[in-house]
Each structure stands twice: as C-alpha cells, then as structure tokens.
Chains A and B, each alone.
Chain A
Amino acid sequence: MKGTSKYAPYVFIGPTLILLTVFSLLPILVAVYISLTDMDLAGLADYSNISFVGFRNYADILSDPIFLVSLRNTLFYVIIGVPLVIVCSLAVALMINFGRNRAFKIFRVVYYLPSVTNVVAVAVVWSYLYNPGIGLFNYILTSIGFDRVPWLTEPTIAKLSLILLALWRGIGLNMIIFIAALQGISRSYYEAAQLDGASNWQQLTRITIPMLRYAIVFVSITTMIGWLQFFEEPFVMTQGGPLNGTVSASLFIYQNGFQYSHFGYAAAGSFVLFFIIIAITLLQLKLQRKQAEE
C-alpha cells in the first residue's frame, strides 16, 4: 500500500515524460547535430556516409536566394495577416458580445466553424472558388462588371489569396478567446460610465480595450508565432508557386527535408526560423511591457 503510493506519481507521469523526451527533447539535440552534417538519403541508408561540415549549411542557407525569398514572403504574411486576424476577430467578438438577443450566440458557431474543418478539404474548396475560369469568385466579379482576378497565378495576389483563406480559418479561435475575456469584464464599469454619460465609443476605447490588454497580448503573440510558421495553405494550394511567390520559410524547410531529402540543410533552416521566432517574440514582449509602463 505504502509502496504503490510512493511510486504512483511516477507511473502517472512516466509515459508522458518518456514520449516527450523521445519526440520533443531528444529531437532538438538530433536536429542540432544533423544541421552540422551533410545528412541526406545516402546518409539515411548508411550512417557512415554522413560527414561533419561545421556551419556550412548555415552559411549556404543564408545565401540561398530561395530561402531569402521564403523569409521575405513569411514577413509579408505576418505583416498583413496578423493585424488583419486580430482586428477582425476582435471586431466580431465585440459585435457578438454587444448583442442582447440569444440569436447572437448562433454567430459564435458560424464564425468558429472554419477553424475546426480539415485544411486539405478547405484548400480543395478554395482552389475551386479561386479557379480563374469556372470559379465562383471570378464569376461574381465579372457579373458585376469587374475584371477577372488571377487569384493564384500572380505572385503578390497569390500571397493575398492565401492570407484571405488563412484569415477565414483563423478568426474563430481568437474570437472565442476575446469573447471569454469580454465576459470577464465587470458590468459595473459600464454602468458607472453610462451614468457619467459616456458614449459607446468612449466606453469601447476607455474601458473595453484597456481591460482586454492581456487577451490582446496573448492573442497577438500566439498569432504571430503561428503565422511565422505559415505552412499548410501554400503547401496544399500552391506548393510555393508561382515562381516561389508563395513559398514560406516552413514550406522551404519541408520541401528541402522531405522532398529533396537534404536533412542537414533543412535542419539548419529550421533553426534559423526558430531563432527568428524567438527574437520576434522577445521583441514583442518587450514592446508590450514598455507600453504597459507608460
């Protein structure tokens, strides 16, 4: 009896710790090592074919024009996508929270729905909507007198098309977080403001937004990290084309690792991306702390 209770906690957490060690912690060490080697298919078949190359992969990848394009594209996705997702999900959350009627609860389901559906299925559907000849979007545009849009065939427009898809998928989750935070604000603040004759706009900017500060920080950091790893949309919709116009850093790493079997090179790329994510997250935390002090 005494014996079982002594070992019990380790039995409960043991399997988790073993799996996390094998699939999360050990892989980091392996990744560090192979990023310093020329590991490829030959190396996979026979480990004696692997040779140590020092930091050559890192030097090569930082001068690889396609990798640099992928970093630029990723930055494009982040700069346009992140503010859009945050503003849209906050706006939807505010509007749903504003509603007095129970019918407003239906909107939570409607706006959240795209987030739970499969990315491949959704990409298949949007590829059809975006089809230049028989797609719904161009049909609607031409029937109200606009020109056809090359949704996925012109590099810049293709990036924007992927952002639109990701925005559609991304609103739901953040909206739910904002609604949860909005419901946590005490009604007494608003009652006091209304007694003082504050307008809706003043209540929004003086009470709601400041009270949401932590939710906004949380959402902007997680959204930023997510968009820096932008992968599934270009992977399923465009494979990075046209002319590498939509290739993201994550997609570049995947393609080099699993399509060209340049494991060492791809591992080096994954660390470059990891460092960028850490640097931007720290910068964001610092900026927000500074803002909070003012």
Chain B
Amino acid sequence: MQPSNSNAARSASSGVRLQQWLVGLTLTVFGVAMIVPFVWMMLSAFKTEGEIKQIPPTLWPETFTFDNFHRLFTEMDFTTYLVNTLLITLFSFVGLLLNAMAGFGFAKYRFKGRDKLFLLVLATMMIPGQVTMIPVYLILNSVNLTNTMIGIVLPGFISAFGIFLFRQFMSALPDEIMEATRLDGASEYKLFLQIILPMSKPILAVQAILTFIGGWNSFLWPLIIANDEKLYTLSVGLQLLKGQHGTNYALQMAGAAFMVVPIMILFVFAQKHIIENYNISGIK
C-alpha cells in the first residue's frame, strides 16, 4: 500500500511540474511577442536612415549611431516639447493635491449633502470625453484660455477615480489621531497637511506615479488647445514628426524611444505599487 501511494504522489507531482513548465513556456512565447515592438524600436533607433530601408533588415545596427537622437533636438524642437511636457506633469501634481483634499473632505467630515455630492463626483466618470471635449474648448475659448498652458492643464486637474481612491484610503485612517491633533489646537488644514498626508503615503505614491505617467503621456488635450508649436508636448511633437518625416523610420523610432523609455524605467521600479493599487481600490 505504502509504495504505490508514494508512486502516485510522485507521478502527480511530476505532472504538476510539467504543467507548470508548459504554462511558463506559453507565457514566455506570448510575452516575447508583447515586447517585440519595444525591442525593434530600440534597435532601429540606433540605425542609420539607409540601414533601416535595407531588405532583409538587420537585427543589430551595423553602424551604431546617436545621430537620430541628436536630430530630434536640432531639426525638431524636442527641447521645447520636453520642457512643456515636464511643466504639464508638474502642474498636474496641483490636481493631485486637489484630489487628495477632496478625498479627505468626503472621507472625514459630516456635512449637509455630502453623500449626494460624492455621488455626483462619481457620476461625472460616466460622461464620455467626446461629449465634453467640444464645449470645454468653447468655454476655454470664451475666456481666452485656448493656446495657453493653463487651458491645457486646468480641465485635467480633477480625477473622479482618484478622489474615490483617496476617500477609500482615508476613511480607514483612525479618527482618534485626528481628535488628538485637534485637542493640541491644530487647525483642520494643519491636520490635513501634517497628519493625514504623511499617513496616506501608500496611496499618494501610487497616485503620484500615475499622475506622472498621465502627464507625460498627455496628448489629445494639448493637441486641441495648443495652436502654437511653442506649447506642443512630446506626444504632439512626435505626431508632427511622423507627418514631416513620414518615411524616416529611424528618426521616428528615436522619437518614440525618447518618450517610452523613461516611462518603462519608472514603471519597472514602481510596478509593485501600481499593481497593488487595484487591491486598494477594492475591485474584486
């Protein structure tokens, strides 16, 4: 009895190990397919314009060149686009603070109409961008904010989903600490800045990363609002590059790599927090 039992267990465990290997192999094959576009982008960005048109294509650049990246800043105005993108990203952190404040207001105070107002905030998530896009443009135009940095960043400040996540997190913070701080004579604002924000570090970190990624990637709204190339962001500039240098794929790949690589590095370091964000949000 004993031997046959352990035999069965052994064959079952080798079956499990085989399954593990098969699943791992499948994931690897499709995973490689997922990153092929990025690998091809990186390799092509260092090729010359002539080499990129060769058939059959070379895998590794024959003549390794930084010329494409250089041309982004000499022939195109990528310096301006980079500065604008960083400015937009910086401004969007003001929006992050506003979302945190609102989350706190909804989480820790009782006031008239609170639940209805919160529902209203959530309801705005369901309005499709296509409906608000044109009127927001007209509203900004009526106060002369089109073609300005304020016009680009202001409509994107508030994220209803961000407020929802801040509220979720801050509701769970203990009231006792708030009471103790109030007894020490601190104002509500001091309480928020010196007690609540430091205690909300996990959610702040995730939201800060997502805000950075969102600001860095912002495309459609800058495209609509900015008439002037002086206000273009990296993605709008890259779209322009695609139009102007339609067949120079080496230059295009350099532009794409310049946009994608910083975000990929940030993501690889921060992925644990971003992925766990979905556990905080309670979507299960």
| A27 in contact with B132 (CB, 8 Å) | yes
Interface residue? B91 (CB, 8 A): no
- Closest B residue to A117 by beta carbon equals B260
Interface residues of B in 267-284 (CB under 8 A from A): 267-268, 271, 274-275, 278-279, 283-284
Which A residues between 155 and 210 are near B, CB-CB below 8 angstroms?
Answer: 168, 171, 176-177, 179-181, 183-184, 200
Give B33's nearest chain A residue, CB to CB: A168
A76 located at the interface, meaning its Cβ lies under 8 Å from any Cβ of chain B in the complex: no
Contacts of B235 in A (CB 8 A): 118-121
Q: Contacts A22-B139, A112-B271, A117-B264 given: A270-B131 contact, CB under 8 Å?
A: yes
A229 contact set on B, CB distance < 8 A? 128-130
Of A16, A126, A171, the residue contacting B98 (CB under 8 A) is: A16
Per-position binary interface string of chain B over residues 85-118, scored 1 when its CB falls under 8 Å from any chain A CB and 0 otherwise: 0000000000000110110111001010010010
Interface residues in B, total, Cβ within 8 A = 94
- Which residues from chain A contact B128 at a C-beta distance below 8 Å? 225, 229, 270, 273-274, 277
Q: Does B216 contact A (CB under 8 A)?
A: yes
Which residues, 242 to 284 on B, are CB-close (under 8 Å) to A? Answer: 242, 249, 252-253, 255-257, 259-260, 263-264, 267-268, 271, 274-275, 278-279, 283-284
Chain B residue nearest in CB terms to A250: B130
Residues B98 and A15 in contact, CB atoms below 8 Å apart = yes
Docked CA distance A15–B101 (Å): 9
- B84 CB, min distance to chain A CBs, angstroms: 14
Identify the closest chain A residue to B132 (Cβ). Answer: A27
* Given the contacts A27-B131, A121-B260, A180-B283, A16 and B124 also touching, CB distance less than 8 Å: no
Whether B249 lies near A128 (C-beta < 8 A) is yes
The answer to whether B34 touches A27 (Cβ under 8 A) is no
Q: Check A28–B127 contact: CB distance below 8 A.
A: yes
Residues in chain B near residue A176, CB distance under 8 A? 275, 278
Say if the beta carbon of A218 comes within 8 Å of chain B: yes
Interface size on A, residues (CB 8 A): 95
A122 B34 Cβ-Cβ under 8 A: no
B219 and A118 contact, CB distance less than 8 A: yes
Question: A121: which of B136, B182, B238 is its contact (CB, 8 Å)?
Answer: B238
Taking a contact as CB atoms under 8 Å apart, the answer to whether A168 and B34 are in contact is yes
Q: Smallest Cβ distance from B54 to chain A, in angstroms? A: 8
Check: A290 CB closer than 8 A to any chain B CB: no
A13/B117 contact (C-beta < 8 A), A121-B256, A125-B40, A274-B128 known:
yes
Chain B residues with CB below 8 A from A257, complex form:
133-134, 137
- A12 & B56 in contact (Cβ 8 Å cutoff): no
Q: List 9 additional A-B contacts (Cβ < 8 Å) besides A13-B117, A124-B255, A229-B130.
A: A23-B139, A34-B134, A99-B24, A109-B267, A117-B263, A126-B37, A136-B36, A177-B283, A270-B134
The 10 closest A-B pairs by CB, nearest first: A12-B105, A30-B135, A27-B135, A8-B188, A9-B109, A16-B102, A121-B256, A13-B105, A120-B235, A27-B132
